[in-house]
Amino acid sequence: MVWLGEAASIPRLLAKAVYGLPELHREELRGAKLIAVPGCMATAAIISLAPIVKASLIDTDRIVVDAKISSSGAGAHAPRLDLHPFRTYVIRPYEVVHHRHTAEIEQELGLLINRRVRVAFTPHAVDLVRGILTTSHTWLVKDVSEPDIWRVYRSMYGNEPFIRLVKDRAGFQRYPDVKYVIGSNLVDIGFEIDNRLGRLVILSAIDNLMKGASGQAVQAMNVALGFEETTALNQVPLYPV
């Protein structure tokens, strides 16, 4: 299945491009001349699923990624359907089974285990300007406890400057929520084990204009050019907004 027809037309460039996700491709990015910046929803899904896939904890043939995305993802030349009266007060599913970000997610997760991974991806437009939340419903293939999952994330992302693990039993922020990352380059990741069904739910929130677009591009450029990776990316989230 061809996902991005236009890109396939310049295979010579494609072969040289590095996928601009520093958390997974930091070494290849150093000195890179051509960087392919990941899609916004792909970023949230890949970063939050990578440690779990790599640790072989879940059934990689049935990963459901249910995404919720804001209006700025459509860009400044959006169609009439994105005029304010039509784009407000929506929970609008679109490209329900063949969104092109699916290809990136399957490619990147598959590379981690050298095996095909199948992702059932469905996006929904919601009435916000910024922010993406991905809810990944996965099925465990091993008995795991909460501390096990924590360890998997910490061992892979313990030193990452932009990743936060979010999980609490009380208070305002018990799981990732776009409200807590707006304006920042952060990726908030959380999870919950559903012992009854053997399900592992993985949640991830980003600001699609930062970690989902230009913020991530700057981060990748910083790595490519040998700058401090967090240069120009230390904005704290604006809260409440």
Contacts to its own copies by CB under 8 A: 1, 62, 64, 66, 68, 71-72, 74, 76-78, 80-94, 96-98, 118, 120, 122, 124, 126-131, 133, 135, 137, 139, 172, 174-179, 182-183, 190, 192-194, 196-197, 199, 201, 203, 205, 238, 240-241
In 114-208, which ranges are continuous DSSP H helix? 146-157
User: What Cα–Cα distance (Å) separates residue 173 from each residue in 48, 165, 176, 205, 226?
Assistant: 17, 11, 7, 12, 35
Gap between the Cα atoms of 105 and 44, Å rounded = 10
Task: Compute how many other C-beta atoms are within 10 angstroms of the C-beta atom of residue 40.
Answer: 25
Q: Compute the least distance from the CB of residue 180 to its own copies, in Å.
A: 9
Task: Report the distance separating Cα 200 and Cα 222, nearest Å.
Answer: 34
40 belongs to the catalytic site: yes
CB of residue 1 to its own copies, shortest distance in Å? 7
Q: Using omega within 30 degrees of 0 as the cis cutoff, is the peptide bond preceding 161 cis?
A: no
122 vs 160, which CB is nearer to its own copies? 122
Q: Least CB distance from residue 43 to its own copies, whole Å? A: 16
Q: Cβ distance 160 to 151 under 8 Å?
A: no
Q: Are the C-beta atoms of residues 189 and 165 closer than 8 Å to each other?
A: yes
Find the shortest distance in angstroms from Cβ 236 to its own copies. Answer: 9
End-to-end CA distance of the chain: 41
Give me 212's structure tokens: 């989902």
Catalytic residue selected from 21, 35, 37, 40: 40
- Using a 10 angstrom Cβ sphere, with 0-12 exposed, 13-18 middle and 19 or more buried, the burial of residue 92 is middle
Min dist CB 14 to its own copies, Å, is 22
Which residues are annotated as catalytic? 40
